[in-house]
């Protein structure tokens, strides 16, 4: 059963139960009030008859005649009946031997009349009886005249009251039927409208399940369903982001595998080709030396590639013990090897370092600096210079490597940290590069919660900044400090 059908069904059942119960209570209460009023009126009339009898008791005592008593009581009864002239009123007078003195009842009295038993003076009993098709109210009291007991029964036909109740029920059933039909029609549209947003979310969920993760629920209500729709959209957005990340990661992994295959294939092809050439060629020293040089260079290239791939694998494990180190001291330790490497291209290394103390992994930081400087050397012209800076700025410590080389065009800046990506393939290949250095640097920066920024202009040079924030630099008990 659909949700709107449940709302529709339960609302109708609730309405019918409450409406019927309330209507029955109102009808029964109204009937009870009318019946009680009729009982009170009948009791008052009975008391009026009793008062008339009590008024003549002194006279009856004077005569002390049973026949006279019967005559007087009969006259009083007739006078009372004629005075009211109501066909619904009946009066009966009997003596203590249950013999009738007077009665204008047009029906047979019931054989069992419990109200006549143990009747006391100044006491009025009443009872409702169904006789034939009528309902009558019997009120009974007793009068003691000259030691003779006379029982007065004043009766009122209350059938119209019960007929009125039945008429009210018949009218109620008509109203009930009309009200239920009207309520059913109204609730049909209300339930459909209330559940329409849910139907929209169901349709949206089906679209998302089919792969369209950009689909959203178009609902702007401020009720609970509107909040649910907003949360549903937030969830869909998170799912879409996660799916996009997974697809991007899968794409990057596939590209990574393709690049590895390509990078391995090229030097292996050269090695196999030259080895086979030397194997089938007669020995010539120059030819053998050239072939061995190619095999050696390609082997070194494979060694460099495997080393950097291993670095990437280790960096992804993210299990490194951080210690508080001075960034300037690390750079100074590396200065001799960096200068030695720069002499090959006749490039000068300049250091401008403040003492920035950070929580970091020393060996990883050396790899990061070496890769940045190595890239800068590959991009630099002869007689150029590379500047390495370490300084503080507000809540950050910044490591900067700047060169005056070929630079990087804007179209490549957002891709240079991808594995195997090479903005200048010819230059990178000539230096036995595989496009992994900056990817390694990015992983090292992530481990240290640092951010890398790149500024570059073609033929003007490149500046790479690694920004260590205070939150990223702090590790458990320490904070980075700067001092001259």
Give the pLDDT confidence of 178-194 residue by residue, as tens digits.
999 999 999 998 888 88
As given in the structure block, the two tokens for residue 25 are 């209570």
Percent of the chain clearing pLDDT 90 (strictly above): 21
Quick one: pLDDT band at residue 87, thresholds 50, 70, 90?
A: low
Token readout for 368 is 């990061």
Contact 384, 347 (CB under 8 A): yes
* 410-469: pLDDT as tens digits: 777 777 877 666 555 444 444 444 567 787 788 888 888 899 999 988 888 899 999 998
What residues contact residue 130 under an 8 Å CB cut-off, 6+ apart?
136
Are 178 and 21 spatial neighbours (Cβ–Cβ below 8 Å)?
Answer: no
Identify the H or E element spanning 355. Answer: strand 355-360
> Pick from 166, 185, 218: which residue ends a domain?
166
> DSSP secondary structure string, 183-202?
HHHHHHHHHHHHTHHHHHHH
Read off the tokens for 191.
């339930």
Are 75 and 64 in contact, with CB atoms under 8 Å apart? no
Task: Read off the tokens for 260.
Answer: 């590895």
- At 256, is the pLDDT very low, low, confident or very high (cuts 50, 70, 90)? low
Q: What is the pLDDT of residue 259?
A: 63
The answer to whether 72 and 60 have CB atoms below 8 angstroms apart is yes
240 within domain boundaries: no
Distance CA 380, CA 345 (A): 8
Residue 376 sits at the vertex; the CA angle it makes with 374 and 378, to the nearest 5 degrees, is 70
Distances (CA, A) of 134 to 137, 139, 140, 152, 161: 10, 16, 19, 21, 11
- What is d(CA 87, CA 11) in angstroms, rounded to the nearest whole number? 50
Residue 371, domain CATH? 3.30.565.10
Q: How far is Cα 396 from Cα 416, in angstroms, rounded to an integer?
A: 24
- Interaxial angle between packed helices 196-209 and 224-280, expressed in degrees from 0 to 180 and rounded to the nearest 10: 0
Residue 126: domain span: 3-166
In the numeric block, which tokens belong to residue 109? 């009295």
- Average pLDDT of the chain? 82
Tokens standing for 127? 């009872």
One-character DSSP codes across 369-411: HHHHHHHHHHHPPTT-EEEEEEEEETTEEEEEEEE-SS---HH
Mean pLDDT value of segment 361-365: 83
Average pLDDT for 96-118: 85
262, pLDDT greater than 90: no
> Looking at the predicted structure, is the pLDDT value of residue 299 above 70?
yes
DSSP secondary-structure letter at 139?
E
173 domain residue, yes or no: no
CATH number of the domain encompassing residue 25: 3.30.450
- pLDDT of 35 higher than 90: yes
d(CA 154, CA 138): 6
- Identify whether 120 is part of a domain: yes
Instruction: Give how many domains the chain has, as a whole number.
Output: 2
Nearest to 121 by CA among 156, 98, 100, 148: 148
Domain membership of residue 232 (yes or no) is no
Q: Which carries the bigger pLDDT value, residue 24 or residue 427? A: 24
Closest CA to 345 of 435, 408, 430: 430
DSSP annotation of 418 reads S
Calpha distance 310→268 (Å, rounded): 19
Look up the pTM and report it.
0.49
Q: Which of 166, 194, 217 is at the close of a domain?
A: 166
pLDDT score of 266: 64
Q: Does residue 451 form part of some domain?
A: yes
Report the candidate in 46, 71, 39 with the shortest Cα–Cα distance to residue 153: 46
pLDDT 10s digits, 137-190: 999 988 888 778 888 999 999 999 999 999 999 999 999 999 999 999 999 988
Contact 226, 46 (CB under 8 A): no
Is residue 468 assigned to a domain?
yes
H-run or E-run covering 149: strand 148-157
Tell whether the model's pLDDT for residue 470 goes beyond 80: no
What pLDDT, on the 0 to 100 scale, is given for residue 146? Answer: 78
Write down which residue in 146, 166, 186 finishes a domain. 166
Asked whether residue 369 is assigned to any structural domain, the reply reads yes
- Please answer whether residues 469 and 396 qualify as being in contact, where contact means their C-beta atoms are separated by less than 8 angstroms: yes
For residue 83, give every residue at least 6 positions away whose Cβ sits within 8 Å of its Cβ, in sequence order, or none.
none
Whole-number Å distance between alpha carbons of 294 and 475:
48
Residue 229 lies in a domain: no
pLDDT at position 137: 93
């Amino acid at each position: 059963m659909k949700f709107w059908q449940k709302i529709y069904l339960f609302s109708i059942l609730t309405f019918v139960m409450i409406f019927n119960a309330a209507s029955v209570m109102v009808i029964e209460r109204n009937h009870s009030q009318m019946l009680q009023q009729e009982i009170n009126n009948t009791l008052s009339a009975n008391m009026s008859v009793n008062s008339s009898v009590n008024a003549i008791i002194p006279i009856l005592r004077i005569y002390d005649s049973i026949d006279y008593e019967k005559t007087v009581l009969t006259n009083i009864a007739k006078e009372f009946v004629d005075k009211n002239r109501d066909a619904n009123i009946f009066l009966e007078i009997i003596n203590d031997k249950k013999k009738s003195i007077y009665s204008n009842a047009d029906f047979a009295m019931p054989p069992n009349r419990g109200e006549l038993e143990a009747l006391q003076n100044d006491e009025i009993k009443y009872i409702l009886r169904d006789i034939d098709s009528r309902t009558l109210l019997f009120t009974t009291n007793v009068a003691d005249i000259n030691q003779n007991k006379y029982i007065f029964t004043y009766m009122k036909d209350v059938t119209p009251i019960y007929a009125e109740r039945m008429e009210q029920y018949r009218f109620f059933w008509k109203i009930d039927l009309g009200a239920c039909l009207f309520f059913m029609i109204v609730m049909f549209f209300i339930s459909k409208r209330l559940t329409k947003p849910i139907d929209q979310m169901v349709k949206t969920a089906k679209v998302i399940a089919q792969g369209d993760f950009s689909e959203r629920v178009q609902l702007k209500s401020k009720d609970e369903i509107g909040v649910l729709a907003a949360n549903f959209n937030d969830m869909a957005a998170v799912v879409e982001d996660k799916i996009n990340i997974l697809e991007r990661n899968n794409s990057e992994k596939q590209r990574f595998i393709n690049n590895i295959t390509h990078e391995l294939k090229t030097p292996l092809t050269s090695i196999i080709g030259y080895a086979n050439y030397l194997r089938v060629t007669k020995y010539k020293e120059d030819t053998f030396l050239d072939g061995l040089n190619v095999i050696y260079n390609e082997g070194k290239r494979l060694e460099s590639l495997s080393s950097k791939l291993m670095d990437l694998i280790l960096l992804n494990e993210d299990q490194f013990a951080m210690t508080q180190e001075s960034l300037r001291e690390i750079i100074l330790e590396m200065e001799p090897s960096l200068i030695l490497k720069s002499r090959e291209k006749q490039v000068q290394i300049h250091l401008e370092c403040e003492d920035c103390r950070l929580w970091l992994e020393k060996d990883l930081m050396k790899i990061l600096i070496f890769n940045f400087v190595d890239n800068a050397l590959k991009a630099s012209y002869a007689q150029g210079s590379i500047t390495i800076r370490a300084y503080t700025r507000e809540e950050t410590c910044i490591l900067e490597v700047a060169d005056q080389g070929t630079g990087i065009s804007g179209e490549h800046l957002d891709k240079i940290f991808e594995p195997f990506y090479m903005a200048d393939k010819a230059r990178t290949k000539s230096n036995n590069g595989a496009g992994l250095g900056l990817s390694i640097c990015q992983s090292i920066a992530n481990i240290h919660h640092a951010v890398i920024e790149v500024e570059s202009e073609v033929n003007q040079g490149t500046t790479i900044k690694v920004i260590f924030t205070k939150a990223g630099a702090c590790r458990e008990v320490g904070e980075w400090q700067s001092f001259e």
